[in-house]
């Protein structure tokens, strides 16, 4: 429907937006051993006053001992440790398996990579691409389009930051 808002995210960055869900900032402490993941999500929903719905493929057990963390941090740990993903649908957080998320959006939920596109002014795209290839991470990718002097880069935020500084110094 037109009112349904779907926001695919990398590592839940915009799905777990504290402005949209202020209960995520609520501090909690947990000592849970071998609990069903759905029961843990229900508990976190109550603590953070959140609307959480789970897909039928959500399953697993959770053991957590956390002291003075936010509901967001606890939810992140539950998601990552059980290979789960979350998608914001309006005011509801929809939890699904990471596999289903990947099928829907073509990327892993816990993928830390971000993308960057840079159009060079003066330097050769091939030469800059070769320089960047020396500092890219093992999970990074660099696509070079020499005719338009454009670089499309996919890597972790820390490596992207280093790459941007290098590009600024050579271009």
Residue 10 gets which letter from DSSP? S
Dump pLDDT digits (tens) for 23-68: 999 999 999 889 999 999 999 999 999 999 999 999 999 988 888 8
Q: Which helix (H) or strand (E) holds 7?
A: strand 6-7
Cα-based distances in Å from 113 to 6, 100, 108, 109, 110: 20, 19, 10, 10, 9
Start-to-end CA distance of the chain, whole Å, equals 46
Dump pLDDT digits (tens) for 87-119: 998 899 999 999 999 888 887 787 777 888 889
- Residue 75 tokens read as 């939810």
Cα(70)–Cα(60) distance, rounded to whole angstroms? 22
Average pLDDT over the chain, rounded to whole?
A: 86
Instruction: List the beta strands (DSSP E) in 13-149.
Output: 27-36, 51-54, 61-70, 84-89, 92-97, 114-119, 141-145
Contact in structure between 30 and 64 (CB atoms under 8 Å): yes
Contact in structure between 42 and 69 (CB atoms under 8 Å): no
- Residue 71 tokens read as 């509901």
What's residue 10's pLDDT? 38
Angle at 58 between CA 104 and CA 107, to 5 degrees: 25
| Number of DSSP helices (H) and strands (E) in the chain, helices first | 5, 9
Q: Is 50 exceeded by the pLDDT of residue 143?
A: yes
What's residue 14's pLDDT? 54
């Amino acid at each position: 429907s037109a009112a349904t808002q779907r926001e695919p995210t990398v590592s839940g960055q915009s799905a777990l937006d504290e402005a949209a869900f202020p209960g995520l900032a609520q501090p909690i402490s947990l000592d849970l051993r071998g609990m069903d993941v759905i029961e843990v999500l229900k508990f976190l929903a109550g603590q953070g006053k959140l609307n959480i719905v789970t897909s039928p493929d959500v399953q697993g057990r959770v053991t957590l001992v956390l002291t003075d963390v936010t509901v967001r941090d606890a939810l992140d740990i539950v998601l990552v440790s059980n290979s789960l993903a979350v998608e914001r649908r309006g005011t509801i957080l929809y939890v699904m398996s990471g596999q289903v998320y990947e099928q829907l959006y073509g990327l892993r939920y816990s993928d830390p990579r971000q993308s960057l596109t840079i159009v060079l002014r003066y330097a050769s795209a091939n030469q800059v691409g070769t320089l960047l290839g020396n500092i890219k991470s093992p999970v990074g990718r660099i696509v070079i389009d020499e005719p338009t002097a454009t670089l499309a880069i996919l890597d972790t935020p820390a490596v992207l930051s280093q790459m941007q500084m290098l590009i600024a110094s050579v271009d």
